Amino acid sequence: MGLGIYVRDVRRDQIEFIGDDAEESFGIMCRTAPETSLRRGVMQHGETMFNSYQLYRLVEELAALPPNEVTPKIHQVLEAAQLAIRKSGYLYFVGD
């Protein structure tokens, strides 16, 4: 099943849901990220929540990826992180 990614607002109400693609491109990108990377902290078999302050760093990391590594799913998560920031909200990751 891969990662489920939820965009939540400041009250933690769900705004949007994104599932990882069949290739699990977002999950693989997180697992292979440098140890000091925020995205390395996304648990593949558990729950992870990033607040809007942490999402600024996630956006920077995703925007800095080489263009050939950015799949449509990674781009979609980048947009979701930007939405969560605008809503003063969160990204909530649920691994299977």
Question: What is the helix (H) or strand (E) element at residue 53, kind and residue range?
Answer: helix 52-63
Nearest CA among 45, 26, 20, 49 for reference residue 96: 45
The range of the structural domain enclosing residue 62 comes to 4-94
Query: How many domains is the chain partitioned into structurally?
Result: 1
CATH number at residue 46: 3.40.1760
Contact 85, 52 (CB under 8 A): yes
At 28 the pLDDT is 95
Q: What is the arrangement of strands in the sheet containing 4-8, beginning at the earlier edge strand? A: 14-19, 4-8, 90-94, 47-51
Confidence of residue 11 (pLDDT cuts 50, 70, 90): very high
Confidence of residue 92 (pLDDT cuts 50, 70, 90): very high
| pTM reported for the whole predicted model | 0.93
pLDDT in tens, 56-82: 999 999 999 999 999 999 999 999 999
